[in-house]
Chains A and B, each alone.
Chain A
């Protein structure tokens, strides 16, 4: 058993060293705010918040797929570390239903549209989706003027999109087209069949959609116009569809009912919704925000009609996912 004792002593010494070197002690109460979010590239806002308030903003990024599982697990164990939570609206609604989200309404929300306030859940932006293309490969006359143009056979093997059988936002967007753009379900299904016949390349989510377009592997994609900002100087542009809206799922946020730093959380929420923070989000990240008069620096975006998609339940998303799986011959 000498060897076992030696093993324990050695392991303990090593772990102690790691702890001494690697673990940062947590800040005192109200000196920091923990922000759980699925939105990307928001470091500029976190830094600006810390600079403006002296409160350290700690950003924990959690993908949508792991969001509910992580928050519920921490909440049930009494260890929810988040002060402020940001995610797609359906996620916040499920959290609210379980008592995770408080009723706090920020005074900054007064200038937002009425529909953006949902009893403690505050909508601040739309995860807008559109047709993004490589302007060095697509001639101006070929750029789609309507969503229907994407079904044109000239786009065969030239499209990239997130997997329509599994990617929730893409599923919602395709259903959103049926409900907000196409005159009839038959016309919509014809469009889907046309796009499917063009054999689009599928990727896991929106993140990998711009790379094949900017490199010229594909010419056009169903993606997010914000990449025109974040991927500059890549030759990306968006198709200005005439008399048709851009659509996306609403981005929502709220304060945790068990926020470890409740006052700091309120200050963070107030700052996030301020015109200053929303301008940063639009200008640095290309997000479409609901603060009046603030637009991403993308040519023509201030003229675009951007609308939130109807919320689909998980059951509906699963059903449509199965339907799109057949239409697009995913498997």
Chain B
């Protein structure tokens, strides 16, 4: 490691460490102290209490099935979508690209409620249609089940997986596949022997990020799991902090430590599995061509499959939201419901000053926060992938620290920390908290993209006399554009709909969209909630389109 690399790594450890360690340390204090705050007499009582709960085993088992199932669903779907969208000449690519990341823009609670309206066993819209079409006596689907939870969480995590796998897919050198075919291998064999192994770092990164997100997820376990009486870690923690009036977040933090430890193990496992980074390098300076595969007879069938999947899994819940925003209260579609439609909820939201302030604040946090987050992520991903020392490993673990805690707990950790600083109750606290917590969303796609860029390119530039910054700006960053776009989109859309931190850090004047949406949800105002949710989707979509268009201008040309 050069001196410059060493200094850069230490500097980044200091920055990322400051951002992520402080709230986690406060949570450790909280879990070890008596009382309801992070200060108090030392005790292990909260750990003993939390881990001696006989129901914990069942909860852990449910959590494992839920998290692994939803992560597999998200990763497999993302691979399928990304392969067709990036590598083939399937029609309407741009639209499919946007559709794949729509679930990311929808508040999770709203997406879960949409699916409950579609597939609840009593009067779920899809169930009613299927019952009528196939003359069934009972509803064929019950969303309030573990498979239902896995489906909805899988769809919600799909954009994370897609935005990590897609850039790696875009940087894939098709000559490897062509060589395989020239040697006589079938398409299936080529996919399993060449394509998937080369994409392994991105696939593992996507899967592991989905696992960690699934562990922290609350909306799906609450809206879909609780009515089905299926409890996972997030709802177990919720029960822990909501039973009684003196909520003990220290005890919840004690359980959260297990999630943190699991996440750290997963990160090290991921690093071990991708340690032979050189194997995955596909952009080495010569012969790089991200070729598009021409689909022949399978073009139309695949287009139909992709269209139907996108419609049923993603577009339909959004249509339900639009419908809900237009009817006066939650109603099953009928002639009466359509006759009662109006724009009342939209007008209410537009005339609500707090909703408008929330839109403004969230937009600012999304745009500026994601920009800062991506700049930091470029440096961190560079050190993680290209330097690969023990310090780089520490940096990677640090970047995951606050991300690994369940959302219901980490917000309180930030509150315990920020209250000791002048930043408390300001928009700065939100900005810093967002970047600290969601840094992996920027780092992962950039790491996947960095993995595929050979050191020779950088070394050649340095040998030719260019500085690190020039090399980064002229050589590395243009090749990283797909990763930068993905990281920015992930962070911006996440910031626009962030709830866990906002709900404890937001104060009058710093209201954000998710907090306003939560208010509407607590008041049962689903119409306004849906109207604001659609505005949120609209803003996020505009951001995604804008950054994709900007990204396309700097992307290396396709052959």
Contacts and interface: CB of A to CB of B under 8 A. Distances in A.
Interface of A: 1-4, 6-7, 10-11, 14-15, 17-19, 21-24, 26, 34, 40-41, 43, 58-61, 63-70, 72-74, 76-77, 79, 81, 88, 90-91, 94, 157, 163, 165-168, 171, 201-205, 207-212, 214-218, 227, 230-231, 233-234, 314-315, 317-318, 321, 329-331
Given A204-B226, A233-B328, A68 B36 contact: yes
Contacts of A205: 242, 522
Interface string B41-73: 000000000000001001100000000000000
13 contacts: A6-B469, A14-B368, A15-B372, A22-B361, A22-B427, A23-B509, A26-B509, A68-B36, A68-B247, A88-B245, A168-B245, A204-B242, A331-B58
Of listed B223, B227, B521, residue having the most chain A CB within 10 A: B227
B89 interface: no
Nearest to B376: A7
Given A73-B416, A208-B524, A7 B375 contact: yes
Given A7-B379, A40-B522, A66-B247, A81 B238 contact: no
B9 to A, nearest CB: 11
Contacts of A66: 247, 412, 503-504
Given A34-B508, A60-B507, A207-B521, A15 B431 contact: yes
A248 B342 CA distance: 35
Given A34-B508, A205-B522, A215-B329, 10 more contacts: A58-B509, A66-B247, A73-B416, A73-B419, A88-B245, A166-B239, A201-B227, A203-B226, A212-B120, A215-B330
B222 A204 contact: yes
Contacts of B361: 22
A233 to B, nearest CB: 6
A163 B379 CA distance: 47
A271 B39 CA distance: 37
B244 A318 contact: yes
A166 B7 contact: no
Nearest to A158: B122
A64 B117 CA distance: 28
A273 to B, nearest CB: 22
A92 B189 CA distance: 67
Contacts of B364: 18, 21-22
A230 B525 CA distance: 8
What are the 10 A-B residue pairs with the smallest beta carbon separation, nearest first? A314-B244, A215-B330, A234-B329, A58-B508, A166-B239, A207-B522, A24-B509, A77-B419, A317-B244, A65-B242
B504 A70 contact: yes
B387 interface: no
B246 interface: yes
B371 interface: yes
Contacts of B238: 65, 166, 204
A230 B524 contact: yes
B522 A15 contact: no
B424 interface: yes
The range of chain B's interface size is 35 or more
A40 B519 CA distance: 8
B428 A15 contact: yes
Contacts of B223: 208
A95 to B, nearest CB: 10
A19 B243 contact: no
Nearest to A94: B246
Interface string B238-271: 1101111111010000000000000000000000
Interface string B349-371: 00000100000110011001001
B390 interface: no
Given A22-B361, A24-B509, A40-B522, A11 B37 contact: no
Interface of B: 4, 7-8, 11, 35-39, 55, 58-59, 113, 116-117, 120, 122-123, 144, 222-223, 226-227, 229, 231, 238-239, 241-247, 249, 328-332, 354, 360-361, 364-365, 368, 371-372, 375-376, 379, 412, 415-416, 419-420, 424-428, 431, 467-469, 472, 503-504, 507-510, 519, 521-526
A41 B467 contact: no
Contacts of A214: 329-331
A64 to B, nearest CB: 6
Contacts of A168: 242-245
Nearest to A91: B245
A207 B431 CA distance: 29
Given A6-B469, A73-B416, A79-B419, A218 B122 contact: yes
Given A24-B509, A73-B416, A91-B245, A165 B330 contact: no
B333 to A, nearest CB: 11
Contact of B242 (A14, A23, A34, A167): A167
A230 to B, nearest CB: 6
B415 A73 contact: yes
A91 B245 CA distance: 6
A287 to B, nearest CB: 12
A249 B58 CA distance: 33
A208 B227 CA distance: 11
A61 B523 CA distance: 12
B255 to A, nearest CB: 15
B525 to A, nearest CB: 7
A63 B229 contact: no
A165 B426 CA distance: 36
